Every structure is written in C-alpha cells, then in structure tokens.
Structure 1
Amino acid sequence: MPNSDAGHASVTVIGLGLMGQALSGAFLKNGHATTVWNRSTDKADLLVAKGAVLADSVRHAVTASPLVIVCVSDYDVVRELLDPLGDVLAGRVLVNLTSGTSKQAREIAEWAAQRDVAYLDGAIMTTPQGIGAADTLLFYSGPQSAFDRHESTLRSLGGATTYLGADHALSSLYDMAVLTIMWNVLNGFLHAAALVGTANVPAAKFAPAARKGIATVADWLSGYADQIDGGRYPALDSTIDTHLAAMEHLIKESEFLGVNAELPKFVKVLADRSIADGHGGDSYAAMIEQFRKP
C-alpha cells in the first residue's frame, strides 16, 4: 500500500526529554510542521527557535496533527497524559516510542482500540544522537494501515525503520531481545578487559581483537538461528562438551588472576544443565533450551 502522507505532513511530539527533542528536531529538519508539548516548557525553546509550535496543553498538541508521537518516561505516564483525551484522539494515529514491556504494549493497544485510536507501538534502537541517520533502526508494530499511512514521516527518524507486524507486542519484544544481546556483549568485553588488564594491557589496545571476536560470533548467528528454528542442533563446529572444557579454563584463569569469575561460572552452570539434558554432543545452539525454561 502506498504512503498517503507524501510531502511534509504535520506531526505532534509529546515528551521533550533528550530523545523527544531529537525526534522533534528530525521532523523539523525534514520539513514537517511539528507541534510539541512538555511539562517543562523550557525544553522546547531550541525547537521553537527552529520552527516548532509549542502547545499550551496536551489537548492542544493532540488536536494539532493527525500523527501523534509520545516519548515519555514510562507507560503509566502515557496513560496519565492521554486518558482524558479520548474524544480528540479518536481517528488519529498514536505512535508510542516509550520504552516498556510487551504486556504494557498490548494493554495500551486495548485502551486505544476502545477509543477508536489507531495505535502503533515502537522501539528506538539508537541514542538521541543517532536519530535521523540513514542506518538508524526503529521498530513499529500494530495495524499495517496506520504504519503505511505515515511511513514516510516516520522515516524521518531513521532510514532503517522496520514494520514488524500486526501484533503490538513485537516492537517491545525486539527491544528487550536486542538489549539482552547488548548487555551480554558488553559484559563479556568488560570481563575480557579485566583479564588482559592484569597484564597491563590497556582496554583500548585490546579493543580491536575484541571487535574481531564479536564479528566472528555474529557470523555464526544465521546458522544457529536455522538450527533453533529447525529444532535440531548438529555440532558442525564444536560440541557443548568442548565448550564446557574451555569454560573451565576461563574460570580457572579468572580466579588465578584475581578477576571476578561469576559470569563464566554462570555460563558453565547453563552448560552443565544442557549436558545433563543430553545435549553434550550438540552444538552451542542447543543451549536455547535452557533459556526457554522459566
């Protein structure tokens, strides 16, 4: 379905924290008439200087545009701000870029449906500084007709904008899934930097080797994904039994060097459980069965 908001459609942004300011700035840069609202009006000063219109109330902000973007601290604040406005929200597209859980996304979607509001839940996969870049990724989920209607406007926020599907929970799920990857990669790097630091190796000198290691692991993901989806885990490179031996080496090395060994010990606990379940001869992808358990 083609976009129906070709040109410079108007948009409203509610919430002007660092991210909300970046969103508003990207819309203005791309020529969209932009109305903004925030409890602390001083946060709108730079945006107003660039051409934004500062609404004197949330109601005024909502009525200014057919597309309303909300980016506030949490979903409770979204409800607090918008609950009284069912009469003016009806018929508009509401895009919630507030971070939250899939359960919260579905609850807001039900709330919106009761008020005849087309609702898209979204997730921003960048920092405020990355908003508007060609490779910046944002996820959206909800009715495709609402996304298609405003896709060109939403692409002002990031060139890698991606529609995930009709299930409102998908954006939050993807967000949480990417976050767990991020923290696991960062924690692995920090543990590694602590290890080489015992030999007076600066983290900056070690970083290029870490990047190559991370890139190598990233290349394995598609193959592991195929095994996960297929439910079979042939050991094409290394078995969990082999990984376990390396984990034991890492724990001993950490302890010998006086580096916290809790992270590799936790990974070994999962491997031990996987082997106890009969997956010792399988590929590392079989470890997903441990994460699927409550």
Structure 2
Amino acid sequence: MTDNAIEKSPLTLLGLGAMGTALARTWLAAGHPLTVWNRSPGRAEPLAAEGAAVAGTVAGAVAASRLVVVCLLDDASVDEALTGVDLTGKDLVDLTTSTPGQARARAVWARERGARFLDGGIMAVPPMIGAPGSGAYVFYSGSRALFDAHHDLLAVPAGTSYVGEDAGFAALHDVALLSAMNGMFAGVSHAFALIRKENIEPTVFAPLLADWLVAMTSSVHATAAQLADGDYTRGVVSNLAMQIAGNATLLRTAEEQEVSAELLAPYLALMERLLAGGRGTESTTGVVDLLAR
C-alpha cells in the first residue's frame, strides 16, 4: 500500500456529539473519505458541507467502510445502534466511554459477529483533538492486528498508545488516570478551602500549589517500584508513623479554618488501619493493598 493510499483510507464514524464531531473534522481535514451517521441527522449537516458522506441508517454507514469507529453516549447506545447490523469482516473501534468489563464483553460480542475489535479510551477533550502539541492521545486495547492495520488512520486525530490484547485494558488505563486526577482535584479543593477566608489571593497561591503538586509526582515512581518488588520500606524517608503524626496538624488546621475534612478523612483512615497493623516503618504504599480487596 502506498503512502497516498494510507493517507486517503476511508472510514465510517457513528456518533456526532462534541467528541465525534471533533474526530470527524480532523479526518476530513486530512483528506480521508468519511461516512458519518448520527441519531439526530441535523448534526451531520455541517460535516456534509465539509465533504462527509451522510448515511441515513447505521447499516448503510457500516456497509460503506471496513473500518467503523463508534463514539456514542454509552455502551447501551452501542448495543442499540448496532443490533441487527451485519459486521462480518468489519474492523470495529469503539471510542465510547466504557468500563473494562463492558469493553471485554463488547470484544466477545464483536467476534461473534465476525468483526475484529479494538477499544479506545480518549485522554483528551474535544478542543484537543487534531490540535498539534495538545498532548491528546488515545489508549487502545484489543486486536493488535486491527491496531497495526489502521494505526496511521487512528493517529490522525490524536496520539496512540496500545496497551494490550486484553480489550479491557484501554478503559482500565483511562479510568485509573481519571481516578488519580479526581484525587488530585480533591486535594486542590481542600487546599483552596483552607485559604478561602484569609487575606491570601488565590491567584498568588495557585503557582505555589501547582509547583508543589508537580514536585510530588515523583512519588508515583517510588510507589510503583515498591509495588513491583514488595518492599514497602525501600527508600522510605518519611514513614507511615511519621506521616500519621503529622496528620493531626492537617485535621486541626482544617478545624481552625472551619473547613470540612471529608475529602481527607477516608485516606487518613486507611493510613490509620495500616499503622494499627504494625506497618509504621513502611511508606503509604500499603494503602493500595487495602483498596484492592
């Protein structure tokens, strides 16, 4: 296959919400023949003006291309859209937000219908799609053969990161990163709440907070190394017992500032459980084992 043939590879896209529309525009701008379908036909009109072929039915859209990308509301929407549609010989890439279990079930479902399957977890918001230097990328898992066959096309809207043949791994990586992000947001919220009633300008405090969080990210690698070798005392500078002693100050300060400690309390309680189990000389890595029931 020539480079030109790769650049002009056709595909079908089901779903034209904010993310689907961003994906569609990026593929169209790159010159790829694109067939689109959306439950509300009006969303397809602007893309038709940009060169997309608009299918009136899901079956018609799927029939138009070997590669079918799905970007719908949820897993139930994928079921509803594709029930009864012939997928024989198709390469199905599902970029719909799902859980690992849903992705694994969808992979089995696709194989039973004669299709290869790849699940994707988009690590971006729509404005980042197709924007050079935005850092947008997509986790992919499932059929390696499908990923390799369509890699150049999939890489047009955003970077790609293939994370394994297990179809659930893309969703798992996606949710793991988003969960860490939400934990960080919780800490940020608590920090701003502490200074909220004081004569401290949030915009002046923000760079200090951001720099501190960046500095603390190195602990991720230490935690990973301890999980890998099972030695939770390796390289520990501030052990669990020391950190728990300091937690009293965190809680007392929250009380003095009239700030709820409800965002901190669950994590601090897990640390207390580790200490009660005689693990005061370790790091906080043992919290991972408490969570992984």
Q: TM-score, normalised on structure 2?
A: 0.94
Matches within 5 A, 1:78-227: 78-85=78-85, 87=86, 89-133=87-131, 134=133, 135-159=135-159, 161-227=160-226
State how far apart, in whole Å, the 1-side matches of 2:66 and 2:206 are: 47
Contact preservation (8 Å) 1:3, 1:148? no
Are the aligned partners of 2:7 and 2:30 in contact in 1 as well (CA < 8 Å)?
A: no
**In structure 1, what residue type is equivalent to 2:170?**
S
| 1:211 alignment partner AA | A
CA offsets 1:150-186 (integer angstroms, 9 cap, x no match): 0000001213x10111000001111110111110011
Residue 286 of structure 1 and its aligned partner are, at CA, apart by 2.5
Alpha carbons 1:5, 1:152 under 8 Å: kept: no
**CA distance in 2 between partners of 1:214 and 1:262 (Å):** 20
Equivalent pairs counted in the alignment come to: 289
Q: Distance in 1 between matches of 2:220 and 2:43?
A: 42
**Whole-angstrom CA distance in 1 between matches of 2:143 and 2:16:** 26
**Superposed displacement of residue 127, structure 1:** 0.4
Q: Which SS does the other structure have where 1:35 is aligned?
A: strand
Q: Give, in angstroms, the shift of residue 24 of structure 1.
A: 0.6
1:108, distance to aligned residue in structure 2 (A): 0.7
Residues 3 and 123 of structure 1: CA distance in aligned 2, closer, same or farther (over 3 Å)? farther
* Structure-1 separation of matches of 2:202 and 2:117: 45
Structure 1 position 51, deviation (Å): 1.0
2:28 alignment counterpart: 28
Show CA shifts across 1:126-145 (max 9, x none): 10111123421200000100
CA RMSD of aligned residues (A): 1.7
Distance 1:189 1:5, change over 3 A: farther
Match of 1:247 in 2: 247
Deviation at 1:5, TM superposition (A): 6.7
Displacement of 1:278 in angstroms is: 2.3
TM-score normalised by the chain length of structure 1: 0.94
Amino acid at match of 2:283: S
The ranges of structure 1 where at least 4 consecutive aligned residues each deviate by more than 4 angstroms after the TM superposition are 2-5
Amino acid aligned to 2:95: L
Q: Secondary structure at the match of 1:84?
A: coil
The gaps in structure 1 that reach 5 residues or longer are none
Preserved CA contact (<8 Å) 1:140 1:164: yes
Single out whichever of 281-290 and 17-26 deviates more from structure 2.
Answer: 281-290
Q: 1:73, 1:148 → 2: CA distance?
A: 27
Q: C-alpha deviations, 1:42-70, integer Å up to 9, x for none? A: 11122112111111111111111111111
d(CA) in 1 for partners of 2:177, 2:15: 24
| In structure 2, distance between residues paired with 1:13 and 1:283 | 47
- 1:267 corresponds to which letter in structure 2? Y
Alpha-carbon distance between aligned partners in 2 of 1:3 and 1:139, rounded to the nearest angstrom: 24
Distance 1:264 1:81 in 2: 43
Partner of residue 284, structure 1: 284
- The percentage of counterpart residues that share the same residue type is 36
| Contact map agreement 1:109 1:119 (CA 8 A) in 2 | yes
